[in-house]
């Protein structure tokens, strides 16, 4: 039997910019995260790749507008991810009464079902 390997984590690098509800003590940055970068100013803090992509998409949304094709693509992808999660939460809460929270779209603030 092979031993189970956990993903390697960069020692001491934690992203505090990500969702505070999901990561109250910070999100650990994995070694394979190519987009992770230190914050400017030499404070020693890091930003994970998913946060960098989210900020780029938000900037793109402000510059190009909501009706642009590229903007619609990542908004629609986020809506689909939220729909899948929210439908799962709806079923689990109805059957088990778990009390899971619905997820909102990061870019529009809507709760899709």
DSSP code at position 16: S
Q: For residue 39, how many C-alpha atoms fall within 13 Å in the half-sphere facing its CB? A: 13
Q: Tell me if residue 108 falls in helix, strand or coil.
A: coil
Q: 35 with 49: CB under 8 angstroms?
A: yes
Q: What is the pLDDT of residue 113?
A: 85
Q: What is the pLDDT of residue 33?
A: 84
Decide if pLDDT at 95 tops 90. Answer: yes
Instruction: Report the chain's terminal Cα–Cα distance, integer Å.
Output: 43
Residue 48 — φ and ψ, nearest 5°? -80, 165
Q: What is the pLDDT of residue 86?
A: 95
Beta partners for residue 47, in sequence order: 37
pLDDT band of residue 9 (cuts 50, 70, 90) is: low
Q: What is the pLDDT of residue 68?
A: 95
Q: What is the pLDDT of residue 94?
A: 93
DSSP secondary structure string for all residues of 33-102: -TT-EEPTTS-S-EE-HHHHHHHHHHHHHHHH-TTSHHHHHHHHHHHHHHHHHHHHHHHHHHHH---PPP
Decide if pLDDT at 8 tops 70. Answer: no
Q: What is the pLDDT of residue 6?
A: 58
34-93: pLDDT as tens digits: 888 888 877 778 888 888 999 999 999 999 999 999 999 999 999 999 999 999 999 999
Cα–Cα–Cα angle for 98, 104, 107, rounded to 5 degrees:
160
Decide if pLDDT at 100 tops 70. Answer: yes
């Amino acid at each position: 039997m092979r031993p189970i390997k956990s993903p390697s984590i960069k020692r001491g690098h934690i992203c505090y910019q990500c969702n505070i509800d999901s990561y109250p003590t910070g999100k650990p940055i994995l070694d394979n995260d190519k987009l992770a970068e230190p914050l400017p100013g030499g404070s020693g803090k890091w930003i994970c790749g998913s946060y960098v992509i989210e900020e780029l998409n938000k900037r793109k949304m402000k510059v190009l507008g909501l009706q642009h094709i590229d903007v619609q693509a990542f908004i629609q992808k986020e809506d689909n991810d939220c729909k899948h999660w929210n439908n799962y939460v709806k079923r689990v809460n109805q059957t088990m009464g778990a009390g899971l929270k619905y997820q909102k779209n990061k870019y529009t603030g809507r709760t899709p079902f």
